[in-house]
Amino acid sequence: MKKQAVQVLKNNSLFIKMFLIMVLSIVAVSLLITFSSIRMSSNLFMDTFSITNTKVLEQIKTRFESYSFSIVSATHEVQNNGTIKRVLTQENQNAIETSGSYLNIIRQMERIYPTVESYEANMIVLGENERLFNMNYSNWPVSWEVLRNHPITKLSISEPTALHYQFISSNSFNDKPMIVATKALMESSTGEIYGVLYFPVREEQLKAFYEGYTSKENEVLLVDEKGKIVSSNKEELIGDNAIDVLKLAKEVETEELEFKDVRVFDNDYMLMSEYLPTYNMYLVNLVDKNVVLDNLINTKEILLISLGIVLIAVIVVFLISRRMTNSISRLVKQISTISKHDFNKPLTETGGYESKKIANAFNYMLNELQEYVDIVVQAQQKQRSAELSALQHQINPHFLYNTLASVKFMVQQGKKEKATDMIHALISLLQNALSNVDQTITVEQEIKDLKNYVLINQARYGDRIKVNFFISPDCLDCQLPKLILQPFIENAFFHAFNEKKEGFIQILIGQKGDNLLCEIGDNGDGMEMKGDHTKEDIKEKRHLFSGIGIRNVHERIQLLYGEEYGVEIASKKGEGTRIKVELPLQKAESLEKPKEITSI
């Protein structure tokens, strides 16, 4: 029994060593991570909360109160200014008196305005006598009529003794949200309201009161008595209703709590608040608990420790197992070269018994695989050649039939000379068409063949169908398969002008990036199509295309160059058809010819 146990240990010594090392490494990593997390969490907690957020809120509250004090001071000065009161109550003045009144009130407002100007707030006075004085028109370009009927004015008049702070969202005359302080101007002895005073300040200026205290995990909200967020370091929240936040802030204030754990905005927060009585608003501080907890762990330090332990373990395992795995490593290196298609280089049969058996079996597999690859390559070459040949011969009889029909028609009409010219043109075309199936020709030669074909057809149809060639000169020496464009010209001649008796066919060839683009368009009868038919449509919906030529050309192109090339078709009934043929750009060694624009 003891000997059997020893033998098992010997046979599995590598596994046991690696297992023990990995277990020890995992235990060490776990202990170090736990220790580091606890230590860093404690340090971060002490650093973060040594100055509490409650004191921070008190500092922010002081800034808001300072601004409010400036508003109150300016309001008091305006309320007690006789010149302002007189100008806002005078009526039926002539132009000179009006000018003088305007100058007097502007002087008085310019004297008072610096009280709030440091906060970048504006000051506006609205009189019941339809007079409005705006110290910074660009801040709020509002007219007397709009302001007089505005809800903030109605609220101020309804409660003339109170100073109101009201939120105005962005609109057509105010591109950014504002908080406007308003106070009705009232005669103390009679209680008569003779105007309204406004102190609009942009929300972004109020944000400066607390922006330095905010961060990703530390948010500040200013919530009015209706639960609307009038200011926040997160701009997307401004103007939103947050009744739940207002309710929680009131609970903290009523219960005199330092903070309250809450869940708002689909997240867990620690909420603290301060009531601003002058504004009748709550200053709310939300601390994201999840982000704070994430920051309690120094990921970088943990990662470095873990990486160091893993690296040491890997090095130790490598040193221990290297001598036992040398032969396997050599096999792996040799096999990696096989993946680069070097099938003719056999593995060296060295090392232990297992390594030799593996190398021998692998070499046998390589020999079998090489023979199989050779057979497959030869079969694919024969299949490709046969398919190209079949496609080529599919065009030739179809083309020859139509052409000979035209020659027959000319002979029957007694036009022997024209018939002779047509036969010469046909001979030239057949010499090119019946040559090597894999041969490509230049665009220049293809155009010559097309012109011969057009000559044959126009001898039959006359000049009622015009053919125009627009060939970019840098394309004349480009290569393309033979008879790649002729089927589309043939299709246009025989099918595009059955209803219309006259028209034109245009052939355009040019470069588009790394591709050669050929377009054949006509203004003939056209056909009903639901949108354009792409290369995939032609491949998958062959029943849409009745002629041999179109599908033939498309299959030839994809067989030669791949599925990203081919034919696209667009047609509309009564307007004509447009064929686009896209090929890879292949240049031939020839001189560039001048641009050719001809009409036949």
Span 238-253, pLDDT tens digits? 889 999 999 999 998 8
* pLDDT digits 0-9 by tens, 369-404: 777 777 876 776 676 566 556 655 555 565 567 667
Q: What is the pTM of this model?
A: 0.46
Query: How much is the pLDDT for 558?
Result: 84
The two three-digit tokens of residue 18, written as one number? 């690696």
Query: How much is the pLDDT for 530?
Result: 65
pLDDT exceeds cutoff 80 at 149:
yes
Look up residue 310 and give its amino acid: V
pLDDT exceeds cutoff 70 at 535:
no
Extents of the domains making up the chain = 2-46+308-331, 53-293, 382-599
- Within its chain, how far is the Cα of 154 from the centroid? 47
Query: How much is the pLDDT for 332?
Result: 65
* pLDDT digits 0-9 by tens, 438-473: 568 899 988 988 888 888 777 666 778 899 999 999
pLDDT exceeds cutoff 60 at 172:
no
Question: 232, 221 in Cβ contact below 8 A?
Answer: yes
Query: How much is the pLDDT for 542?
Result: 37
Query: How much is the pLDDT for 321?
Result: 61
Q: Determine the 3-state secondary structure of 475 from DSSP.
A: helix
What band does 302 get if pLDDT is binned at 50, 70 and 90? low
Q: What are phi and psi of 124, to 5 degrees?
A: -130, 135
Q: Determine the 3-state secondary structure of 71 from DSSP.
A: helix
What band does 592 get if pLDDT is binned at 50, 70 and 90? very low
Architecture of the CATH domain 53-293: 2-Layer Sandwich (3.30)
What is the mean pLDDT of the segment spanning 536-562? Answer: 62
**Residue among 173, 163, 93, 176 at smallest CA distance from 134:** 173
pLDDT exceeds cutoff 60 at 129:
yes
Look up residue 548 and give its amino acid: I
pLDDT exceeds cutoff 80 at 337:
no
The answer for 224, left when phi > 0, alpha when psi is -120 to 50, beta otherwise, is beta
Helices 548-561 and 353-412 sit at what angle, rounded to 10 degrees?
Answer: 150
Question: 350, 361 in Cβ contact below 8 A?
Answer: no
Question: 587, 514 in Cβ contact below 8 A?
Answer: no
Look up residue 452 and give its amino acid: N
Most confident of 257-266, 306-315, 402-411: 257-266
Whole-number percent of the chain with pLDDT over 70: 73
What band does 66 get if pLDDT is binned at 50, 70 and 90? very high
pLDDT exceeds cutoff 90 at 21:
no
What is the mean pLDDT of the segment spanning 16-34? Answer: 69
Lowest mean per-residue pLDDT among 25-39, 154-168, 193-207, 282-296? 25-39
**Residue among 431, 433, 485, 428 at smallest CA distance from 455:** 428
**Residue among 459, 568, 577 at smallest CA distance from 524:** 577
DSSP type of residue 241: B
Query: How much is the pLDDT for 44?
Result: 62
What is the mean pLDDT of the segment spanning 539-563? Answer: 64
Strand 465-471 and strand 503-512: the pairing is: parallel
DSSP type of residue 349: -
How many other C-beta atoms lie within 10 A of the C-beta of residue 408? 12
What topology is assigned to 382-599 in CATH?
Heat Shock Protein 90 (3.30.565)
* Mean pLDDT (the chain, rounded): 78
**Residue among 469, 491, 479, 478 at smallest CA distance from 551:** 491
* Higher per-residue pLDDT: 222 or 129: 222
